[in-house]
Amino acid sequence: MKAMIFAAGLGTRLRPLTDHMPKALVPVAGVPMLQHALLRVKAAGFREVVVNIHHFGQQIIDFLQANDNFGLDLHISDERGELLDTGGGILKAQRLLNDGEPFLVHNADILSNIDLAALYRKHLDSHADATLAVSHRQTSRYLLLDQDYRLHGWLNKQTGETRPEGFDCNPALYQEYAFGGIHVVSPSLFPLMEAGGWQGKFSIIPFYLSVCSQAVIQGYPFDGAQWFDIGKPETLALAEQALGKP
């Protein structure tokens, strides 16, 4: 089983910590966030892992080598020439990820105890094209899922913007969920990226919304699990408290 860890982010919300190190190496309770993510995917049974790099990328390479890649078959997707965002990052790593089987994608700045193996099994059992970990967390931007948790649209509650264009976000038809930065992707989506002209730098959520009428993009609710976005100071502090750091 393969996984990809997004470790290329600039970490602007964590400055000045990220002025001299990549966000993925910022410690959480004394352990770099990338290490937390790698050990989590390894514990779930993923043995071949792709890590993308950009900001202070050589520091990540050196860190992985110093730790013998944590016993994983590890590959680097090098974005030091251009930061490609989540969708572009997956597309660039296609040759490393696409063996015909679904793969897990995990943001390095997400710390959780979500059952990643169960998420992967759900994706396999449902034959979906993508399965997104989602929750009822309060935010301004929501994925809109039907009663079977299939994605139909997106809503920005602050601006009223909806996607796809012209989508009717009838609250009687859809449930509002926040994306948790962890998903399982099937290679069936790569041809849809090509057919839609998706290339270079792009985010994965707009792509999902552009194909959700023809592909099965589903949610996997994890309400009740522990989850932190550790890419900003206030939630990084909360995560450290949860891990027992004074």
Q: What is the CATH number of the domain that holds 93?
A: 3.90.550.10
Please give the residue that has the higher pLDDT: either 226 or 92: 92
Q: 188: number of CA atoms within 13 Å, CB side?
A: 17
Number of domains present in the structure of the chain: 1
Nearest to 50 by CA among 79, 30, 12: 79
Question: What residue numbers bound the domain in which 147 lies?
Answer: 2-242
Secondary structure letter of residue 172 according to DSSP: T
Please give the residue that has the higher pLDDT: either 121 or 245: 121
Q: Measured on CA atoms in the order 161, 165, 171, 177, is the torsion positive or negative? A: negative
**φ, ψ for residue 28, nearest 5 deg:** -125, 110
The pLDDT score that the predictor gives to residue 126 is 96
Beta carbons of 180 and 134 less than 8 angstroms apart? yes
Percent with pLDDT over 90 in the chain: 79
The pLDDT score that the predictor gives to residue 246 is 46
The pLDDT score that the predictor gives to residue 209 is 97
9 pLDDT exceeds 80? yes
**Cα separation, 21 vs 24, whole angstroms:** 8
**Cα separation, 153 vs 11, whole angstroms:** 28
245 pLDDT exceeds 70? no
- Arithmetic mean of pLDDT, 57-82: 97
